[in-house]
């Protein structure tokens, strides 16, 4: 029995894997694996029966709250443990920058230096779950052969034991989290502990101990004096909850950072009304030791940790980053992404300008920019070869972010930048990588020299990942949008033909939802000595509807060209639609025009009735004979109606998008349309068309597309003689 890891087969699981399943199976397996590879935390996920979902069964080394956002994850989720189960391979993330680049959702919540390995727990036939383990940020950038071998072998053994448990109908259940056990000892240990307590009590600074859940297990008298809280009220509580002025997410964030990275961290806080205290956190795998003292001077305080104002800024950046993540999901096109980054990110991180770059045909292309006083300054990036020695090209090619704290630092690596100054003094070049491939570069420019500490670099790199995902979607959307509109333009007539005795004007407005493409169509055919006009609506607002619309329009033209009567054109088009096997229906209104006689013969298939305006301004709705929608019944026949179309008469043909609005009665909307046509019908026809669709053209949210075809008879009145 073998499992797959990074495309290679692991060693045969030892025979011991066939021993009876013990309790607690999962906890013992996870902790043994962590001990083997010296990992300091981990979690084991099991596949939920009958669902493509992984759920945490046991955690070790850190509180379960650290993994709370990923308690249940879908197999398709873009996180390492799901990827390991989905692709049945080991997934390695070597540090915070790699995490931010590949898995920005995790890095947004845990922007700390740590390394992670995720592996599937699977046999050759079944995926039972997956697990991950983490190491402090000091871990080398790659797994050693020893670590890789022991991780894969341990997962193979666990998979075999889970297979046996399933065969014996004893599936494992979730188990309590495993944190570091409390030390136990005899009398000698007690004496040592008492002496240690006396020693700590004599220290001039505060010292307290926090367990892995952040609860205070010990505090000396100096802690009580400095915090102004009795020791009895501190023990067993969380430090940031027991002390009101420490109840700030920024301080809890430092505790999380220390535990996950296993690096000492620090911060300063103001004890009201005016006493500055310095907190230094020393982590281990069993908890935290916290040293508390008075901040000696403002200068030293600034070196020891962030000021409260700085902490607030950091918190604002994180909250705005989360806000951006939500906002970016609503961004449709590339310019939406540019505007959101400019509105949300640049102010939060202090950037004064930005450029969003993409790649096309081996060169950088400027997708958008904001904040540059001279647009030509930003547009100089456009057209730079990806092989050029330029920071934007280098970042896009390597996928590694670049931070330049000053102009001198940038020009030292890229001397050619001296020839193109932009007036800024610091820059962050963020690679935009989505689905494992680079899609662009985000350039943030700063007005003054700007240091980029490690935590800010992690935040900016995480932002790059979020922006990349939004940009990838936006590029696809814009491409589909251009394709859809190109298809729509190709299927609708570019211009209306000149027909003797008939003046014509048409308008089309796509819906603003979906792909902004629809099935509404119109056409005017010069089939001398007569003419024909058609308007229709295929249900749907997608490429399928547009394609079917094109087929119907072509069919109507063909049936008109061979001289079919209006009722025959409708019947033939109906049968053609049914023969195509489409599940879509279409409404249609077809007219055969005879300007010389001042007559029009019409046939209708479930389409809204046209409006006829007489030269005296009177407008009436034409109640035409007809039949059901096209595409329903192949045997149906469509009746025709002949109407007078003398000189000066104006026909308005339209689709239902022009008269249907939420909360508005169709009869009222039709009456309103008739009133407007009566008032403006004598104006030039293009002005009439613009006026009738003006309200819809200005609407930001059109749920349906709109087509309008106006036909005005301007031929000679009929005569009885030569």
CATH code, domain carrying 271? 3.30.450.20
142: left (phi over 0), alpha (psi -120 to 50) or beta: beta
Rounded to whole angstroms, the Cα distance separating 14 from 157 reads 7
From the DSSP assignment, how many helices (H) and strands (E) are in the chain?
Answer: 22, 29
Query: Which H or E run includes 133?
Result: strand 127-136
First-to-final CA distance of the chain: 100
Tokens of 364: 């950088």
Last residue of a domain, one of 427, 458, 483: 483
Tokens of 13: 């699981």
Give the residue from 569, 583, 592, 587 showing the smallest Cα distance to 638.
569
Beta carbons within 8 Å of 586's beta carbon, 6+ residues apart: 519, 536, 537, 538, 539, 548, 549, 552, 577, 605, 629, 630, 631
Tokens of 172: 């494992």
Last residue of a domain, one of 429, 453, 483: 483
38: left (phi over 0), alpha (psi -120 to 50) or beta: left
Beta carbons within 8 Å of 664's beta carbon, 6+ residues apart: none
Q: Tell me the residue length of the chain.
A: 722
Q: Cis omega before residue 204 (within 30°)?
A: no
- Which backbone phi and psi does 19 adopt, to 5 degrees? -70, 160
Flag whether the pTM goes above 0.75: no
Tokens of 170: 């004893």
* 121 and 62 assigned to the same domain: yes
Q: Is residue 218 part of a domain?
A: yes
Residue 351: CA count within 13 A, CB half-sphere = 28
CA 333 centroid distance within chain: 12
Beta bridge partners of 93: 116
* 476 and 380 assigned to the same domain: yes
**3-state secondary structure string across 617-628:** CCEEECCCCEEC
Rounded to whole angstroms, the Cα distance separating 624 from 608 reads 10
Beta carbons within 8 Å of 77's beta carbon, 6+ residues apart: 70
Rounded to whole angstroms, the Cα distance separating 112 from 260 reads 7
Give the residue from 148, 165, 140, 166 showing the smallest Cα distance to 4.
148
pLDDT at 188: 39
Question: Could you tell me the CA-to-CA distances from 333 to 177, 472, 477, 479, 540 in Å, in that order?
Answer: 45, 10, 6, 9, 22
pLDDT at 205: 86
352: left (phi over 0), alpha (psi -120 to 50) or beta: alpha
* 391 and 498 assigned to the same domain: no
Beta bridge partners of 355: 369, 443
Q: Is residue 665 part of a domain?
A: yes
CATH code, domain carrying 632? 3.60.40.10
Q: Is residue 176 part of a domain?
A: no
Number of domains the chain contains: 4
Give the residue from 601, 477, 470, 586 showing the smallest Cα distance to 535.
586
* 496 and 524 assigned to the same domain: yes
Q: Is residue 317 part of a domain?
A: no
Q: Is residue 387 part of a domain?
A: yes
Rounded to whole angstroms, the Cα distance separating 267 from 301 reads 9
CB atoms within 10 A of CB 303: 9
* 609 and 501 assigned to the same domain: yes
Beta bridge partners of 208: 219, 290
* 624 and 477 assigned to the same domain: no
DSSP 468-524: HHHHHHHHHHHHHHHHHHHHHHHHS-SSPPPBTTEEEEEEEE--SSTTS--EEEEEE
Rounded to whole angstroms, the Cα distance separating 403 from 420 reads 18
* 667 and 543 assigned to the same domain: yes
* pLDDT digits 0-9 by tens, 441-454: 999 999 999 988 77
Query: Which H or E run includes 125?
Result: none
Beta bridge partners of 283: 288
Residue identified by tokens 């995902």 is: 469
* 522 and 669 assigned to the same domain: yes
* 604 and 682 assigned to the same domain: yes
* 537 and 570 assigned to the same domain: yes
Q: Is residue 310 part of a domain?
A: no
* pLDDT digits 0-9 by tens, 227-266: 988 988 899 888 888 888 888 777 777 888 888 888 888 8
Range of the domain at 41: 25-168
Last residue of a domain, one of 269, 294, 319: 294
Q: Is residue 209 part of a domain?
A: yes
CATH code, domain carrying 407? 3.30.450.40
* 415 and 441 assigned to the same domain: yes
Tokens of 64: 């379960």
Q: Is the Cβ–Cβ distance between 129 and 57 less than 8 Å?
A: yes
Give the residue from 283, 322, 330 showing the smallest Cα distance to 109.
322
Q: Is residue 476 part of a domain?
A: yes
Q: Is the Cβ–Cβ distance between 110 and 260 less than 8 Å?
A: yes
Rounded to whole angstroms, the Cα distance separating 687 from 505 reads 9
Beta carbons within 8 Å of 719's beta carbon, 6+ residues apart: none
pLDDT at 186: 39
Query: Which H or E run includes 532?
Result: strand 531-538
Rounded to whole angstroms, the Cα distance separating 232 from 151 reads 44
502: exposed, middle or buried (C-beta count within 10 Å: 0-12, 13-18, 19+)? buried
Tokens of 296: 């000696």
Task: List, run by run, the mean pLDDT of 10-residue segments along the chain (722 residues).
Answer: 35 40 74 92 90 89 82 87 95 88 78 91 94 92 94 95 88 70 40 64 84 87 89 87 82 83 86 88 89 67 41 43 65 85 79 90 89 85 88 86 91 80 89 84 92 79 84 81 66 82 90 63 87 88 73 89 91 91 87 90 93 94 88 91 93 90 82 93 93 75 82 63 33
* 471 and 517 assigned to the same domain: no
**Within 53-94, where are the H helices?**
80-87
């Amino acid at each position: 029995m073998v499992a797959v890891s990074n495309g290679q087969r692991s060693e045969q699981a030892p025979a011991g894997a066939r021993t009876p399943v013990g309790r607690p199976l999962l906890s013992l397996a996870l902790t043994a694996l962590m001990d083997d590879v010296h990992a300091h935390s981990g979690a084991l996920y099991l596949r939920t029966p009958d669902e493509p979902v992984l759920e945490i069964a046991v955690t070790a080394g850190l509180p379960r709250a650290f993994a709370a956002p990923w308690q249940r994850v879908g197999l398709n989720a873009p996180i390492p443990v799901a990827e390991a189960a989905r692709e049945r391979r080991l997934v390695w993330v070597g540090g915070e920058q790699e995490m931010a680049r590949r898995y920005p959702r995790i890095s947004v919540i845990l922007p700390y230096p740590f390394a992670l390995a995720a592996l599937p727990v699977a046999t050759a036939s079944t995926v039972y779950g997956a697990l991950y383990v983490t190491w402090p940020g000091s871990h080398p950038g790659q797994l050693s052969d020893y670590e890789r071998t022991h991780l894969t072998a341990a997962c193979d053994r666990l998979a075999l034991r889970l297979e046996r448990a399933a065969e014996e109908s004893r599936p494992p259940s979730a188990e309590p989290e495993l944190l570091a056990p409390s030390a136990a000892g005899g009398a000698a240990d007690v004496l040592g502990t008492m002496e240690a307590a006396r020693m700590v009590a004599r220290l001039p600074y505060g010292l307290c101990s926090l367990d892995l859940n952040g609860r205070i297990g010990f505090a000396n008298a100096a802690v009580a004096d400095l915090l102004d809280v009795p020791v009895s009220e501190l023990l067993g509580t969380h430090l940031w909850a027991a002390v009101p002025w420490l109840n700030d997410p920024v301080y809890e964030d430092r505790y999380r950072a220390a535990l996950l990275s296993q690096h000492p961290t620090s911060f300063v806080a103001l004890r009201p009304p005016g006493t500055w205290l310095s907190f230094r956190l020393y982590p281990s795998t069993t908890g935290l030791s916290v040293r508390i003292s008075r901040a000696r001077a403002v200068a030293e305080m600034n070196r020891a940790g962030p000021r409260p104002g700085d902490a607030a800024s950091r918190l604002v950046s994180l909250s705005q980053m989360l806000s951006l993540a939500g906002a970016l999901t609503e961004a449709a096109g590339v310019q939406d992404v540019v505007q959101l980054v400019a509105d949300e990110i640049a102010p939060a991180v202090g950037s004064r300008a930005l450029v969003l770059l993409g790649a096309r045909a081996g060169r950088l292309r400027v997708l958008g920019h904001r904040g540059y006083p001279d647009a030509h300054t930003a547009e100089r990036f456009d057209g730079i070869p990806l092989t050029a020695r330029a920071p934007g090209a280098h970042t896009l090619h390597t996928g590694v972010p670049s931070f330049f704290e000053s102009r001198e630092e940038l020009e030292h690596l890229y001397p050619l930048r001296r020839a193109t100054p932009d007036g800024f003094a610091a820059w962050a070049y963020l690679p935009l990588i989505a689905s494992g491939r680079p899609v662009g570069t985000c350039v943030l420019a700063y007005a003054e020299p700007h240091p980029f500490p490690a935590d800010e670099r992690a935040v900016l790199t995480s932002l790059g990942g979020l922006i990349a995902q939004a940009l990838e979607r936006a590029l696809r959307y814009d491409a589909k949008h251009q394709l859809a509109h190109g298809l729509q333009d190709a299927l609708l007539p570019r211009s209306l033909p000149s027909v003797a005795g008939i003046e014509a004007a048409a308008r089309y407005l796509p819906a603003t939802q979906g792909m902004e493409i629809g099935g509404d169509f119109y056409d005017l055919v010069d089939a001398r000595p007569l003419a024909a006009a058609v308007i229709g609506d295929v249900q749907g607002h997608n490429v399928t509807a547009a394609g079917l619309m094109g087929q119907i329009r072509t069919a109507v033209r063909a049936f008109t060209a061979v001289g079919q009567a209006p009722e025959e054109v409708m019947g033939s088009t109906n049968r053609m639609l049914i023969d195509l096997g489409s599940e879509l229906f279409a409404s249609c209104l077809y007219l055969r025009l005879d300007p010389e006689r001042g007559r029009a013969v019409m046939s209708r298939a479930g389409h809204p009735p046209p409006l006829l305006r007489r030269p005296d301004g009177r407008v009436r709705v034409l109640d035409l004979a007809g039949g059901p929608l096209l595409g329903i019944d192949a045997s149906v026949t469509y009746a025709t109606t002949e109407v007078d179309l003398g000189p000066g008469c104006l026909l308005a043909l339209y689709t239902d998008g022009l008269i249907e609005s939420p909360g508005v009665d169709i009869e009222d909307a039709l009456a309103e349309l008739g009133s407007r046509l009566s008032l403006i019908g004598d104006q030039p026809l293009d002005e009439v068309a613009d006026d009738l669709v003006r309200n819809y053209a200005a609407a930001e949210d059109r749920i349906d597309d709109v087509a309008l075809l106006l036909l005005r008879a301007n031929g000679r009145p009929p005569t009885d003689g030569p």
